[in-house]
Amino acid sequence: MNLMNACTQHLIAIGEALQAYEKKHGDFPQWLSDLHPKHLKDERTLICPADEEKGIPMLPYDEDPNLPVSYEYEIRPEYRVWIDEECRVYGDINPIVRCKHHADPTADSTLVAQLYLNLSFSYRIYKSTGRWTNHPVEAYGNLETAIKAFEKGLQQVPENRDYFRLYPDLVRLYVEVGREQEADNLINSFKSIMQPERFERFRDYFFLSEMFEEMGRHGERLQLFEELEKQDPRPPGVFGELAKIHEKLGNAELAEAYRVKANPKLKLIGKSMSDFSTTDLDGNPISLQQYRGKVVLLDFWAVWCGPCLGEMPNVKKVYDAYRDRGFDVIGVSFDNDEAELREYLKVCNIPWRQIFDGQDGSLKKQYGIGGIPSPWLIDREGKLISFSARGTTLWQLVAEAVKKA
């Protein structure tokens, strides 16, 4: 039995235990470990066979307080109100337990694409990427059932901004089954409820742009964002969207110009990185020059940054896979509390060197870092490959870079 099939059997057993627990107590347990031993006799069932950490999470706040558990429990205490609302909108196909320890076997061999196994509230098991609603056929069984579910959900929350994502998702399904008139009607309905507030207006327009894209109405997308560009000289995300639209329309030069406007750091790609000289967390001298000849991830992050911690397991796996082939990592921490940083590094067994830069440190200023995570990948000659090397992209870029002598 392969690991995914074995994991599926674990999820089936967990689902049966959850049903038995709910029948007895009239509600779900606070933690998956509460199922053991009365409803789930073998605690090893809570460990995915593909989980190399054996249920010990990288992020402390993901930890079950009683037992090692590989699986994400969507209904634990802090998520309860939110998940109840999700189920009201999407129905009982919403995941209650998820496993993220499997690679997508259909992905390109140079990538490590994450595949989730989801156990729904109806105790069905289906596959998806991180956002399960991107896979309606797998979740609901077929397109028509997915359309009816999304329609029903949208009828309940037509003006709730938290669920505006339903509009482009439903348009996508309508287009897929050839129901363009219904897709067009949905676009008009969305236009009628778009709000004029500045920030929300931009957000709404991105949803509208997605719907235009699904319908192939790229001229309307272009007009939409050109108007926004005139209204605000530096609108958030609009330059990037204009770059995508011009690329779709075949306007390569304009697409590149808007990409650079959207992110001036693109000019640095392929250029030699400026060196730095400082000390690491242990007081030892460290500089980029010391790493010349290696592929280096200069990882700007902090313990207080949730997305940074979420990416850390991926960075560790890439490090373990390629450190013997000339790959290394330098962590640059923007934390304020050095003791908290040291504790995290110790608990999570982070092996590479760290620089404690603080929230307003010299390296942050030198490289113009705004938000984090900001992982800069540098080649063996000291030239910048990417300033956003995360997830499967990190795997791909490192695999390509280490091949070059």
Confidence of residue 404 (pLDDT cuts 50, 70, 90): confident
Beta pairing partners, 271? none
Give the mean pLDDT of the chain. Answer: 90
The answer to whether residue 287 is domain-embedded is yes
Alpha carbon 125 to its chain's center: 21
Residues 195 and 89 in one domain: no
pLDDT > 50? residue 369: yes
Same domain, 20 and 117: yes
Residues 126 and 91 occupy one common structural domain: yes
Taking 80 as the threshold, does the pLDDT of residue 196 lie above it?
no
Q: What is the per-residue pLDDT for 261?
A: 87
Domain count for the chain: 3
- Is 147 domain-assigned? no
Q: Residue 277: phi, psi to the nearest 5?
A: -140, 115
Q: Which residue has the tokens 């009239």?
A: 26
Residue that finishes a domain, picked among 228, 246, 267: 267
Supply the pLDDT for residue 247.
Answer: 93
Residues 6+ apart with CB under 8 A from 196: none
Q: Is the pLDDT of residue 198 over 80?
A: no
Range of the domain at 75: 3-141
Same domain, 7 and 118: yes
Residue 295, beta-bridge partner list: 327
Residue 148 domain-assigned?
A: no
The answer, yes or no, to whether the previous bond of 373 is cis (omega within 30 of 0) is: yes
Asked whether residue 161 is domain-assigned, the answer is yes
Q: Are residues 281 and 180 in the same domain?
A: no
Q: Say which amino acid occupies 163.
A: Y
- Residue 112: what pLDDT? 45
CATH of the domain at 216: 1.25.40.10
What pLDDT does residue 110 have? 40
Indicate if 398 and 337 belong to the same structural domain.
yes
**56 and 179 fall within a common domain:** no
Separation CA 382–CA 385 (nearest Å): 9
Boundary of a domain, candidates 237, 267, 297: 267
pLDDT tens by residue, 250-275: 999 999 999 888 888 888 899 999 99
pLDDT at 109 over 50: no
| In the predicted structure, residue 111 carries a pLDDT above the cut 50 | no
Residue 90 inside a domain? The answer is yes
Beta strand segments in 251-326, E: 277-279, 285-287, 295-301
User: Strand, helix or coil at 390?
Assistant: coil
Looking at residues 17-25, what average pLDDT do you find?
Answer: 96
Element (H, E) at 353: strand 353-356
For residue 124, pLDDT over 60 is answered with yes
Look at 79 and 144; give whichever has higher pLDDT: 144
What element of type H or E holds 365? helix 362-366
Higher pLDDT, 1 or 144: 144
Domain boundary among the residues 267, 291, 318 is at: 267
Domain match, 21 and 57 both: yes
Q: Are residues 10 and 133 in the same domain?
A: yes
In a domain, 302, yes or no: yes
Q: Are 331 and 350 in contact (CB under 8 A)?
A: yes
Judge whether 238 and 230 are in contact, CB under 8 Å.
no
Q: How many angstroms separate the Cα of 346 from the Cα of each of 178, 283, 309, 340? A: 55, 17, 14, 10
Residue 391: the pLDDT is 87
State residue 23's pLDDT score: 95
d(CA 371, CA 355): 17
- CATH number for the domain spanning 376: value is 3.40.30.10
In degrees, rounded to 5, the angle at the alpha carbon of residue 268 between the alpha carbons of residues 264 and 269 is 115
- What is the reported pLDDT for 136? 94
Q: Which of 16-20, 50-54, 86-90, 117-121 has the lowest mean pLDDT?
A: 50-54
Statement: residue 61 has pLDDT above 60: no
Confidence of residue 190 (pLDDT cuts 50, 70, 90): very high
Identity of the residue numbered 76: R
367, two tokens? 């490289």
Residues 287, 388, single domain; the answer is yes
Q: Are residues 205 and 86 in the same domain?
A: no
Q: Looking at the domain assignment, is residue 392 inside a domain?
A: yes
Q: Residue 26 falls within a domain, yes or no?
A: yes
Kindly tell me if the per-residue pLDDT of 62 is higher than 90.
no
Give the chain's largest Cα–Cα span.
66
| 158 and 105 co-located in one domain | no
**By percentage, how much of the chain surpasses pLDDT 90?**
71
pLDDT value for 228: 83
Gap between the Cα atoms of 23 and 67, Å rounded: 23
pLDDT at 60: 57
